[in-house]
A and B are shown apart, each in its own frame.
Chain A
């Protein structure tokens, strides 16, 4: 599996957006598809704006999951992003 470098800046691919509607689950909407987002997923994707680096995204998650090791969080985040990249929902260098 290829994975984002710490300095890469992931961004949502064209035509993909987060839907956060009052009283409804947060969703990632993409061409002819949708994915429910849990709180960590939402936190990651909100930062996939081409500004935050992968390392910054991981450290933001660290605040919420201080019990997990940084390696584990980085690993899970990379896996999450890589799956979305294969679905053409996320881009990164």
Chain B
């Protein structure tokens, strides 16, 4: 059996930001439960031996780990390509220099908007100005730089300015990702889901920019799956390419897999990575096609989108083994269609303008206390 291609290392759930669409689970792991430096080092060694090529350092905010430079060196020593996915908060010049020296290959820096006031409102913190300054510093170092912007109903109108900012900051890549509705984002869905008009305009804007910037800056666009005809191939298929380790060392097939009832996740402190990948119940559960219901089972696209996302099936259809309701062929597609219809009703949607954002107090901000 071939091993995973990439490891997603959620080093911590701690984060100075409180983004309203955070993909972390609603129940986050506390600092005391986090793996130690040595335990992560062992995970990276095993991953390298298993044929893993890449590791994503993510969180929470990876910079919240005081041992991040050591962890970076350990990952590189294990032969892994190292992506640092960060909000940038806490990345002063000394630390940036140390991380580059330790072997970080690529930094993906998140922005919430181009407009400082709305960016800070989404993040629940004053962060935007710092990120701009940091992006300019990152570009002074010899590593790849991606600007990541999560887009939604409240900021899609400013997509041309987002692209212009990425050019100004000389990003190698701009990743424009529509919100995916799990965790905190699902709580805030009504205020985040774009209208069809907004989506169509954004697709045209991206296409024009991709042509114009070919060979200079790559633009990846993650479409909102609620508007798709077919579901997204979540994680490239369950237990097929990716393994996520959460801050406490539990190995998950997907970021949100913790929401699925009855799932048992093995811990890297107890089981070797190879055994988790090959034998654990969690990774076997939806691997391959045996588990598939109709219409997935007989669908010619089953090897392409793998029935969509299991966590979304659970969240929207109440059954993790159902066809992803985002699929137009799914028996429970009406759930998604209803939400989309809601997002496109009213004068705001007809004119193509975003509805008024909720007052600050009405957002559900990511936090440890619910």
Contacts and interface: CB of A to CB of B under 8 A. Distances in A.
Given A15-B172, A16-B144, A88-B172, A31 B217 contact: no
B165 interface: no
B53 A29 contact: yes
Contact of A31 (B51, B105, B142, B215): B105
Query: Interface size bucket, B side?
Result: 20 to 34
Q: Which of A2, A24, A32, A86 has the most CB of B within 10 A?
A: A32
A46 interface: no
A29 B105 CA distance: 9
A85 B81 contact: no
B215 A85 contact: yes
A15 B106 contact: yes
Contact of A2 (B83, B144, B172, B215): B215
A24 B53 CA distance: 11
Contacts of B215: 2, 85-86, 88
Query: Interface size bucket, A side?
Result: 10 to 19
Interface in B48-99: 51, 53-54, 56, 79, 81, 83
Chain A interface mostly:
loop
A27 interface: yes
Nearest to A91: B215
A21 B108 CA distance: 26
Interface in A23-38: 24, 27, 29-32, 34
A87 B83 contact: no
Q: Which of B51, B142, B172 has the most CB of A within 10 A?
A: B172
Contacts of A14: 142-145, 172
Contacts of B214: 86
A51 interface: no
Contacts of A17: 81, 105
Interface string A73-87: 000000000000111
A7 interface: no
Contacts of B83: 31-32
A13 B105 CA distance: 11
The 3 A-B pairs at the shortest CB distance, nearest first, are namely: A15-B144, A31-B106, A29-B81
Interface of B: 5-6, 51, 53-54, 56, 79, 81, 83, 105-106, 108, 142-146, 172-173, 214-215, 217-218
Given A32-B106, A88-B144, A88-B218, 16 more contacts: A2-B215, A14-B142, A14-B143, A15-B106, A17-B81, A19-B53, A21-B79, A29-B53, A30-B81, A31-B83, A31-B106, A31-B144, A31-B172, A31-B173, A87-B218, A88-B173
16 contacts: A13-B172, A14-B142, A14-B144, A15-B144, A19-B53, A29-B53, A29-B54, A29-B105, A30-B81, A30-B144, A31-B83, A32-B6, A34-B53, A85-B215, A86-B218, A88-B215
